[in-house]
Amino acid sequence: MTNFLEKARQLDKQDPLKDLKKEFYLKEDSYYFDGNSLGLLSKKAESAVFEILQMWKDNQIDGWTEGEYPWFTLSEKLSEQMAQVVGAKKKEVIITGQTTTNLHQLIRSLRPFKDGRTKVIVNELEFPSDIYAISAILEEQGLDPLQHLISVKSKDGYTIATEDIISELKDDVALLLMPSVLYRSGQLLDMKKLTEAAHKKGILAVFDCSHSVGCIPHDFHNCGIDAAFWCTYKYLNGGPGAVAGLFIHEKHLPIKAALAGWFGSDKSKQFDMAHNFTPADEAGSLQSGTPHILSIAPLIGSLSITLEAGIQEIREKSLALTDFLMEIAKELLDFNFEYTTPSLANERGGHISLSHPEAARICKALKAEGVISDFRFQIAFYHSTCTCSIIYFFFRCV
């Protein structure tokens, strides 16, 4: 039998990111595998929140315009860093809203339903909030989701075949709405191939990148996707309910925001308080109201860690961790576990998912042993950029 403990120690020694572990708050005797749901708190994120609170205390209303991070332009400032993380131009990205409200804002603002195009292609394994949102948008257009929302079926219950998506891209389709990584199985979709196929048919391609931003290098601009939205509380370690991100390709700029509001103004005009709106000519125009400064604050710290580590390096570590996890699972686990994550590196994101009929009870038992995994109708273990003691869990669970 492979000596996995020894192998883990060797891998840890060679790990170029090992020093970052001390940046994060880990609990003793606890093993965190749930970075896909909620990334852990880092010391840098924590001190950024305290700094913003201090500014509020000291500067009061002047916090909007003074200090190291004037709140008035904090979203724009941090969006420059976010643009680097997703491979976009600065003007194409803004940190704003929530994942779900950004879906609403982007799709409504892109106004895809025209020239007889009324259908939206989604998949049956999609995160429910996206389905609720796009259904509401269709209904508002007078389009019944039962007829106009086409849900691509999964053949195995875990993954969606690219060809099955492409075969639904017909002339009456307005929009392709897909995740970059499926939230349960961790399957990574080929965004470039899907976008090219959609564009050939005049269809807009929009992606939910909640499960990839922060753990997979993206090249949104060159990939040519029309838009993307993502949360920042998973792989970006922004904290519960941290402010989300959106990307709109420069070919759609300037864009008229469907959910318009004064924070979408050209910054130099916002305080004119005029009733004729002068929107920003960048993605920033897709902001509506006052940004949630306290929920952006942790990103000051956590984005700097992501950039310091390097997104390519994070991906390499993530793949090394998940490869190792699968190697151990395959050798040691034989109690009716099914592997539901594609094994090829270019077909999976940052987490590994195992399916088992008793998954709920297994997760509960693991938690009692200090192993924090995620349960979503199947047992799923997630990598976090700051978790590396995966070996111990497997020794304890078998």
Contact residues toward ligand PLP (CB under 6 A) are: 98-100, 127, 129-130, 179, 183, 208, 210-211, 231, 244
Q: Which residues pair with 206 in a beta bridge?
A: 177, 227
Sign, Cα dihedral of 325, 329, 331, 332:
positive
State in angstroms the smallest separation of the CB of 376 from ligand PLP. Answer: 10
Nearer to ligand PLP among residue 123 and residue 195 (C-beta): 123
74 touches 303 (CB < 8 A): no
Whether residue 233 contacts residue 240, with contact meaning beta carbons closer than 8 Å, is answered with yes
Shortest spacing between CB 387 and ligand PLP, in angstroms: 19
Cα of 338 vs its chain's centroid, Å: 25
CA atoms of 373 and 146, how far apart (whole Å): 35
Q: Which is nearer to ligand PLP, 8 or 165 (CB)?
A: 165
Per DSSP, what are the bridge partners of residue 153?
A: none
- Minimum gap (Å) between residue 37 Cβ and ligand PLP: 7
Considering the complex, state which of residue 133 and residue 371 has its C-beta at the smaller distance from ligand PLP: 133
CB of 183 vs ligand PLP, minimal distance in Å: 4
Binding-site sequence positions for pyridoxal 5'-phosphate: 99-100, 127-130, 208, 211, 233, 262, 290
- Residue closer to ligand PLP by CB (options 34, 130) is 130
Q: Which residue number, 11 or 178, has a Cβ lying nearer to ligand PLP?
A: 178
Smallest separation, CB 131 to ligand PLP (Å): 10
Q: Which residue numbers belong to the known binding site?
A: 99-100, 127-130, 208, 211, 233, 262, 290
User: Toward ligand PLP, which CB reaches closer, 118 or 384?
Assistant: 384
Q: What is the distance, to the nearest Å, from the Cα of residue 125 to the centroid of all Cα atoms in its chain?
A: 16
Closest separation between CB of residue 99 and ligand PLP, Å?
A: 3
